[in-house]
Structure 1
């Protein structure tokens, strides 16, 4: 039995209306077994921007939020596989001028701590350090202002700032910006021609805008997204 596209289109429309979502995409991939071909269905409904009414399509681009952490972790693990770093390498050995709030954490926090959200560094740090290629370097230079929420390795605490720090590790080890490393190490090899990390890369496609509010008061968000420094 093939995937019932009409059924899933109806369900997508129903769910977006139920939850007040202006527009959405849905992708379904069924992996073929015993020699059968894979089956893929892509669907879309609604609009990309309530202000303009531009319709959502299956090739529109959307912000993916913290899925970028998966990208960052993947490239970090590539560097581990290549022997350029190890999971238990102290970050201080890579970023020599690293200065965190807790001196002991500065010396002992490892790549593994950052990947597993166990560093204890306050994760809700969204410092805007501009638009230049040095945004992660500037962000890390100010990370000493962030609180230490729990002892190193004591427990798990979701940590955005730890992934920005991993992005900076990638930059130092590869000599590229995080954006360049994502493109060369992930997007290009995977054939992701409509994937990017910067607003100007999205602008060449039909792209979705975030919306705020509920019910009849939903409107486009006043900003595009988080600062470039929060990309990783």
Structure 2
């Protein structure tokens, strides 16, 4: 459980619940609240009960280390799941698209995007899909990509961004940078996973404005 409290996911869950990731201080000052939280979110009591009756071997330690690496793989999978959700949405609208590409904008410049409609070479709508359950430089890189999309875009091109994941809670300055792009109308929409219906409506309207046929 010590290792669980220090894992990336647990750190962000603690910060979200208590406003701090300092679990040692929480254990000293709010032990009951911390135990209730860990039991609710991670099954603390059941895990400890099972652990007390078990004899641990080197194999158990190695398996735990392998699980931490698998968790990183699942985080990548979660990011792909957001892209998959957007892909299914675009398919449902009957629009042509390309995934994870570079679209062409002003003066022949290019910028990365996770979704280009109808093609990267003749993009009329582009979208960034950024879901992170852990923090780090990748989030800042994601913001730079969205800023680059806003910089390169042509006046007739629509730029949308869908961001989600608990990792953003520790990068609020980065979130503010993306929000500033929306406030200044340098991008045309900013959404979370819970707002996909709004994204679908705005995407439909944008597609029709640029002359694309929506199914």
Superposed pair shares fold, TM > 0.5: no
Q: Scaled by the length of structure 1, what TM-score is found? A: 0.27
Indicate the structure with greater helix content. Answer: 2
Q: Scaled by the length of structure 2, what TM-score is found? A: 0.28
Larger relative contact order (CA 8 Å, sep ≥ 6): 1
